[in-house]
Structure 1
Amino acid sequence: MEILFFGIIVFLFLLAIFDLSVGVSNDAVNFLNSAIGSKAAPFKRILIIAATGVFIGAVMSNGMMDIARHGIFRPEHFSFYELMCIFMAVMVTDIILLDIFNSLGMPTSTTVSMVFELLGATFAVAMVKIIADTGTLSVNDLLNTEKALSVIVGIFLSVAIAFFFGTIVQFLTRMYFSFDYKNKMKWKIGIFGGLATTALIYFLLLKGVKDMAFMTAGAKEWIDDNTVLILTGSMVLSTAIMQILHICKINVLKLIVLMGTFSLAMAFAGNDLVNFIGVPLSGLSSYTDYTANGAGNPHTFMMDSLNGPADTPVYFLFAAGVIMVTALATSKKTQNVSKTEIGLGSQGGGDEMFGSSRVARKLVRMVISTHSRLKQYVPVRVRTWINRRFDTSQTIVEDGAAFDLVRGSINLTLAGMLIAVGTSLKLPLSTTFVTFMVAMGTSLADRAWGRESAVFRITGVISVIGGWFITAGAAFIGAGIIVLVMYWGGFPAMTLAAIAAIVLLIRNNRKFRQKTEKEQDGTLFQTIITTEDKTQAWELLLIYMTEHKKKFITQALDNYKSIASGFTNDDIKPLELSEKILTKEKAVLKNERRKETLCLRLVNKETAIEKSAWFYLMNNSCMSMTYNLRRMNEVCKEHVENNFRPLPKAFLKDFTPVYSETVSIMDDACDAIEHGSLETITSIRKRCDNVKDRISVICQSIFGQLHGGDAGNLAVTYVYLNLLQETQEMMSALRKLMRATYKLRQNTVAQI
């Protein structure tokens, strides 16, 4: 029996290795985004600084906190077998949830996932015990409800607090510096640098170094007694140092951002490490106690020993540090998660990862309306002065940066301060929640959420916050279900759950790689957005548009084939598939049109004016073709779905040549869109006209049959007419698309 439990402990630690890798990929968003987004240093240098902080924090960590041992449950009322089921369920659920969120690029909280997994698994086992013991035990006997409630409230309260202070502090800071901060520094930078450095030291003292394993009780007491003195001395000394560094032409803001990155990375590893290895270590402690003192019956041996403190061996901490640093340096998912927060906080336009939601639209409309009313009561001079301080046209950002160093400094400094204050007040705040919401608050205060992007940004924030709540619910329910399966299924169920977790991990990683390959064109878009050469911007934009229009025509051709095949062969499956694809295609086209419009703004003014008409004609033609296909598919799908009569052979005989020529034209258009000459484009446009004329003849014949009462079944005739007319309209749109394509490549605007 003991060998089986030993196998479970080994598997828990194997999962912990994966958990460390996956968790670091997700929580890297906490300490990397501000440095990456503001381009404070090259990416490799930022990773080295963060990795150093992670390793030092991990090795010097206390490695254990009470919540993993007795913060959620009361171990004296649980047997060794019950706790093994709980720990196993927590690890399996945690690894699956975190990997799914990483693959989606959604930052989630390891604290939330672990707390709710422990809570869900413990609650499920507690209910079984209460029912089995017929009233001997109560919920309060089994669950540490007061501690659990305080953790949950503190975690979710941090969302509103971080967003509020992020907005207020960044607003005041921007008023202090303005966007043209390099010309406004002088003596200001010393004070700002002193405040930021003091805040980071305060953060390290209360949230980082103070909880490290090497800190003695006397050292902690001395820090508590002399905190004010330490901070005052730090403020004076760091202000002087920062002012001297500025005089020596050293960029103090970059230094602050890198210091903040190191501080958050160190504190994260030193305190949040328990989220990854706390459960396996608790399982190991339980197993050690069971083998030393157990009577051989895991169902009756109670785990009172977990109420006591435990120290983690240094080699565990060292190994954890190595794994975390390796994951941080090699994981592509780290960059994927970081992309979400940086994109939502970008000062300029960019690739909006999220669509538009009804809630976001109403919020934006309400804010605009409220702002219009309130500004009437603000004096004109005050409004003018504020607008001058917030003149984003004077923004100074590093090449390729999403926002400036001032905001990057505030993101890290304020996040550290809030976490430190929460720690001093004994509030268990989530580092993920705090850092993300501070970043969102600072971007709002910086007017990064303009009217053209506010809806998308708010939708993104709502999606991320919703993801956190989904994490909590999924963790609670998932762990509860899995623990019951293990509790009643025994070792076979545990083995199956472990295999299922590994299979899901492999599948999710494959999907992530496929998704990454599909998003490679994002690099070209970012290159266009960040280039300062207007001539190069137009050349790159042409390449970008050409690639996407080729993909669009290829996709449109595939959909047209599926619709025609589904209708003529009375097959519903191709029509259902096309419906899903076309629904997504509309959103893709809208997003691409927005991105291309942003790029067009960066092009030389004369070129942009000359090409704009053809630019918009091309995009409108694509959208028209999509609507044609959707209307075709909707009518054909309804007809086939209702099992109405299939298309008569007489109609099919007339339609086949039209279908073949349409497919041939679209296929040739896909090849010609990149390098097609004037003659080729003209030929394709004439062929479009020929197909339109042929369809008109067929439609006239059908109208005559309808008038004479010889058209046969009316239901299938109307669907057939719709297919023909939408094909005709699609050829008109393709004709315009080809013309616009050629005009965009021309150096003149001569008529075709």
Structure 2
Amino acid sequence: MSDIYILMIVALAVLAIADLIVGVSNDAVNFLNSAIGSKAISFRTIMIVASIGIAAGAIFSSGLMEVARKGIFVPGEFYFDEIMIIFMAVMITDILLLDFFNTLGMPTSTTVSIVFELLGAAVCVALIKIGADSALSIADLGSYINTKKAGEIIIGILLSVVVAFSVGAIVQYVSRLLLSFNFEKKAKWVGALFGGVALTAILYFIFIKGIKGTNYAKSIIDVVYNGGAEGLLDWANIYFDSSYETVKDLVSAKKDIFKIDADKGTIALTLRGFLETNVPLIVSLGFVLLSLLSYLVTTFFKVNIYKLIIIVGTFALALAFAGNDLVNFIGVPIAALKAYEAWSVSGQLPSEFSMTALGGKAETPTLLLLAAGLIMVLTLWFSSKARNVVKTSIDLSRQGDGNEKFRPNFLSRGIVRSTVFLSEVVNSVLPTSFKNIAEKQFDQELVDKTNVTLTKREDLPAFDMVRAAVNLMVAGVLISIATSMKLPLSTTYVTFMVAMGTSLADRAWGTESAVYRVAGVLNVIGGWFFTALSAFLAAAVIAFLLSLHLPSMLGVLLSLACFLLVRNTIKYRKKAKAERAEDRLKKSESSSIQGVIEESADNIKSFVSRGNKIYGNTINGLAKYDLAELKKSRKGIAKLETEVEELRDSIFYFIKNLDDASVGASHFYISILGYLEDITQSLEYVAKVSHKHVNNNHKKLRFNQIKDLKEIEEHLGDFFGNIKDVFDSREFNTLSGIIDEKQELFAIVNDKINKQVSRTRTEESSPKNTTLYFGLLMETKDLITATMNLLTTYRDHQD
């Protein structure tokens, strides 16, 4: 029987490696988004700093896996075989859940996922035990589950979302009022003071959050009592102004701050205790020294203090992430290994050995921590999904407009309307002088004009270095406070909501983008609740299946997990490869009319190639009655439609970028976009009605109808192919010959219409078929007309 548990330990080790990979891919947003979004330093430098932080955090972590061992359930109430089922269910669920979010590019909390997976699996196994014992009832569930701890975690998570957003918004608003968007033009002492505040907060965060989980936290700073065991309790009650009845109560209350040896009668202040009991002193000295240091490095060494803050902050969050969140990835396998070691020497049956051994402290070997740190660093460098998750967070906090990933909904519209109304009410009572000052400080017109003319708009930073510094500073402070107060929270939720709060305060969510950004935030928050619910239910279901028959279900579930992971990875890579290979429509960045014509030629070449493919696939799918092919065509046209919409949304910036001699190019560009939109609408109609017809299981088109449509599709294929060749070779003098084909193409379509009229009067018996067929032919005529107008406009302007 022990062979199955050896196999489970090996499987858990492999799952731990996979969990490290998917976990880091999601949690990278915690410490990368501010540095990447501000583009204060190169991407390579960002990765090096984050890698050093992760490696240091992993190596110096003590590896106390409290949550996995006894944080959620009471280990002494379960037997070894039950504990192994719980741990296996948790790991399988965690990998699949995090990989799902990574594929979507949505940030979620690895802490929340592991907590609710442990809770779900433990509740399931506990209910099975209760059901098997007639002497027990559902009321006894509380003896198996640490309900107090679970409740604290849930409340802490909900509070952290609101507090992080609010504090982030307030601090950013005050910072912008003091520094403005032209912060680099301020006096050096202003930047030095800001640097003193930010660096003090970040470095204190490193000490509190980074050192808390290490063995260094227990180092003795000062011995405050060494008078023997007899008078220890009396002295402690006077010193702490308390009334402890027993030494045990004293030790339990002060164990994190003081190291108390009851036998020797000594009380020593630890490093962690010193940091937590001398906050005002440490912060005051830190602020003075770091402000002075900031002034010196900016004055004499010409160091940009904001870049320095971002580098130190990125290192700090990476350090804390690896040092403390490591439990989310390897805590469960380590706990399972400790459980196996305890059982293997007991000589008892797995179903009779109580897991009270997990109630004590256990440390992870340094070699394992080093290996985990190495895997995390490699994942950070090579995971494309990590960058996808980071991109979601950056896009939602981008200053000004950008490519909006999320669609607005009634809730986001309602929130925006309410906020606008509330803003108007507040503005009506604010003094005019304050409003004038605020408007001046938040005016970024000069910054925008300076930067837009120098580089492409998408290459500009998503936000400036002040906001990046505030993001890192506020996140560090909030996590430090929660850690010192022993309040559970999710670092992902804190860092994300701080970034959203600073975005709101920085007026990044203007009327042009607010509904999209709010919808995005609501989607992410909704995903967090989905994480908790799905983690609980999925882990419970897997634990139940494993309980039915462990050997067989273990093989089935592990095989299923591997299959899903491999399939998701292959699909993601294929999708990413297809997107890279596909010629996306590019926004015009040229300032001259000749440059605009050249760039438009590339877009038209790509557009007609993809349009031809969509039309051909739609007709083929309709001929074969292939719903999957028609669905693929609808996705293709939806993507093309989105890209055309993005080009249309960039008209404002295109016109702004033109030089005075080329303003006439704006009319040409707008006309081209209009015709591209007309062609897209025709293709969208063809794909939609064809998919609807097959999806509703209507009659197949008749053979003659299919034959006629295939003939039209072949002519259009040649037509679009000729257009692509012209724009690819830039032989625009041949456009007139293609334009002259208009009447020939119309004649072919009109001939098919006349044939269908005759068939309808004599042999056609399906109204749906007739409606679909005429709709396809009429929309094809519109498609030809819009394409000809496009070519005519291009030929005339080229001449």
TM-score normalised by the chain length of structure 1: 0.90
| Paired residue secondary structure (1:451) | coil
Inter-CA distance 702–515: structure 2 relative to 1 (3 Å threshold): closer
Q: Deviations over 1:482-524 (max 9, x none)?
A: 1111121212221222222223222222223223334448999
2:657 matched residue in structure 1: 603
Q: Deviations over 1:541-575 (max 9, x none)?
A: 76765555444333332332344345566666654
Q: Give me the whole-angstrom Cα distance separating, in 1, the residues matched to 2:171 and 2:796.
A: 50
How many Å apart are 1:69 and its aligned residue?
0.7
Say yes or no: does 1:406 pair with 2:459. no
Larger CA deviation: 340-349 vs 482-491: 340-349
CA contact (8 A) 1:179 1:394 kept: no
CA contact (8 A) 2:208 2:272 kept: no
Q: Deviations over 1:12-56 (max 9, x none)?
A: 122112222221222111111211221222222222221111111
Within a 5 Å distance, the mapping from 1:407-422 to structure 2 comes to 407-422=467-482
Supply the RMSD in Å over aligned alpha carbons: 3.0
Larger CA deviation: 546-555 vs 127-136: 546-555
Within a 5 Å distance, the mapping from 1:520-531 to structure 2 comes to 520=580
How many Å apart are 1:195 and its aligned residue?
0.9
CA contact (8 A) 1:72 1:119 kept: yes
Q: Give me the whole-angstrom Cα distance separating, in 1, the residues matched to 2:84 and 2:439.
A: 61
1:672 matched residue in structure 2: 726
Q: Give me the whole-angstrom Cα distance separating, in 2, the residues matched to 1:31 and 1:652.
A: 57
CA contact (8 A) 2:619 2:709 kept: no
From 212, 233, 243, the equivalent of 2:285 is: 233
How many Å apart are 1:276 and its aligned residue?
1.0
Inter-CA distance 666–282: structure 2 relative to 1 (3 Å threshold): same
CA contact (8 A) 1:74 1:143 kept: yes
1:125 counterpart letter in structure 2: V
Inter-CA distance 636–257: structure 2 relative to 1 (3 Å threshold): closer
Report the number of matched residues: 737
2:163 matched residue in structure 1: 161
1:309 matched residue in structure 2: 361
How many Å apart are 1:418 and its aligned residue?
0.7
2:783 matched residue in structure 1: 730
Inter-CA distance 606–302: structure 2 relative to 1 (3 Å threshold): same
Inter-CA distance 405–636: structure 2 relative to 1 (3 Å threshold): closer
2:271 matched residue in structure 1: 219
| Paired residue secondary structure (1:108) | coil
How many Å apart are 1:432 and its aligned residue?
0.6
2:740 counterpart letter in structure 1: K
Q: Give me the whole-angstrom Cα distance separating, in 2, the residues matched to 1:561 and 1:354.
A: 30
Inter-CA distance 439–545: structure 2 relative to 1 (3 Å threshold): farther
Larger CA deviation: 28-37 vs 454-463: 454-463
2:607 matched residue in structure 1: 552
2:241 matched residue in structure 1: none
How many Å apart are 1:718 and its aligned residue?
3.8
2:528 counterpart letter in structure 1: W
Q: Percent identity?
A: 39
Q: Give me the whole-angstrom Cα distance separating, in 1, the residues matched to 2:509 and 2:483.
A: 31
Q: Give me the whole-angstrom Cα distance separating, in 1, the residues matched to 2:521 and 2:465.
A: 22
Say yes or no: does 1:292 pair with 2:294. no
2:35 matched residue in structure 1: 35
1:109 matched residue in structure 2: 109
Inter-CA distance 504–571: structure 2 relative to 1 (3 Å threshold): closer
Larger CA deviation: 428-437 vs 379-388: 379-388
1:343 matched residue in structure 2: 395
1:283 matched residue in structure 2: 336
Inter-CA distance 650–170: structure 2 relative to 1 (3 Å threshold): closer
Within a 5 Å distance, the mapping from 1:312-327 to structure 2 comes to 312-327=364-379
Say yes or no: does 1:181 pair with 2:183. yes
Say yes or no: does 1:259 pair with 2:306. no
| Paired residue secondary structure (2:188) | coil
Q: Give me the whole-angstrom Cα distance separating, in 1, the residues matched to 2:374 and 2:592.
A: 43
Larger CA deviation: 143-152 vs 96-105: 96-105
Inter-CA distance 497–673: structure 2 relative to 1 (3 Å threshold): same
1:244 matched residue in structure 2: 296
Inter-CA distance 205–537: structure 2 relative to 1 (3 Å threshold): farther
CA contact (8 A) 1:65 1:278 kept: yes
Inter-CA distance 731–148: structure 2 relative to 1 (3 Å threshold): same
Within a 5 Å distance, the mapping from 1:330-729 to structure 2 comes to 330-395=382-447, 400-520=460-580, 535=591, 539=595, 546-567=601-622, 574-594=629-649, 596-597=650-651, 600-601=654-655, 603-606=657-660, 609-636=663-690, 657-696=711-750, 699=753, 713=765, 715=767, 716-729=769-782
Q: Give me the whole-angstrom Cα distance separating, in 1, the residues matched to 2:200 and 2:695.
A: 69
2:6 counterpart letter in structure 1: F
Larger CA deviation: 327-336 vs 709-718: 709-718
| Paired residue secondary structure (1:54) | helix
CA contact (8 A) 1:102 1:333 kept: yes
Inter-CA distance 10–244: structure 2 relative to 1 (3 Å threshold): same
Inter-CA distance 642–101: structure 2 relative to 1 (3 Å threshold): closer
1:597 counterpart letter in structure 2: I
CA contact (8 A) 2:585 2:643 kept: no
CA contact (8 A) 1:538 1:603 kept: no
| Paired residue secondary structure (2:216) | coil
How many Å apart are 1:113 and its aligned residue?
1.0
CA contact (8 A) 2:156 2:488 kept: yes
CA contact (8 A) 1:204 1:210 kept: no
From 138, 141, 145, the equivalent of 1:139 is: 141
Q: Give me the whole-angstrom Cα distance separating, in 2, the residues matched to 1:65 and 1:230.
A: 30
Larger CA deviation: 489-498 vs 649-658: 649-658
| Paired residue secondary structure (1:215) | helix
Q: Give me the whole-angstrom Cα distance separating, in 2, the residues matched to 1:211 and 1:649.
A: 74
Q: Give me the whole-angstrom Cα distance separating, in 2, the residues matched to 1:115 and 1:469.
A: 13
Q: Give me the whole-angstrom Cα distance separating, in 2, the residues matched to 1:565 and 1:323.
A: 47
Q: Give me the whole-angstrom Cα distance separating, in 1, the residues matched to 2:68 and 2:50.
A: 26
Inter-CA distance 658–140: structure 2 relative to 1 (3 Å threshold): closer
| Paired residue secondary structure (2:394) | helix
Q: Give me the whole-angstrom Cα distance separating, in 2, the residues matched to 1:379 and 1:405.
A: 30
2:89 counterpart letter in structure 1: A
1:53 matched residue in structure 2: 53
Inter-CA distance 288–187: structure 2 relative to 1 (3 Å threshold): same
Q: Give me the whole-angstrom Cα distance separating, in 2, the residues matched to 1:521 and 1:610.
A: 33
1:457 counterpart letter in structure 2: R
How many Å apart are 1:210 and its aligned residue?
3.0
1:678 counterpart letter in structure 2: F
CA contact (8 A) 2:73 2:146 kept: yes
Larger CA deviation: 598-607 vs 715-724: 598-607
Q: Give me the whole-angstrom Cα distance separating, in 2, the residues matched to 1:627 and 1:518.
A: 23
Q: Give me the whole-angstrom Cα distance separating, in 2, the residues matched to 1:621 and 1:698.
A: 25
Q: Deviations over 1:140-184 (max 9, x none)?
A: 011111111111221232111111111111011000000011122
2:223 matched residue in structure 1: none
CA contact (8 A) 1:614 1:743 kept: no
CA contact (8 A) 2:193 2:291 kept: yes
How many Å apart are 1:86 and its aligned residue?
0.8
Q: Deviations over 1:97-156 (max 9, x none)?
A: 222222222111110111111111111111211111124261101111111111122123
Inter-CA distance 631–310: structure 2 relative to 1 (3 Å threshold): same
Inter-CA distance 158–570: structure 2 relative to 1 (3 Å threshold): closer
Larger CA deviation: 407-416 vs 14-23: 14-23
| Paired residue secondary structure (1:76) | helix
CA contact (8 A) 2:735 2:795 kept: yes
2:215 counterpart letter in structure 1: A
How many Å apart are 1:431 and its aligned residue?
0.7
1:212 counterpart letter in structure 2: T
2:58 counterpart letter in structure 1: A
1:122 matched residue in structure 2: 122
Q: Deviations over 1:634-653 (max 9, x none)?
A: 44555556666665667667
| Paired residue secondary structure (2:181) | coil
| Paired residue secondary structure (2:740) | helix
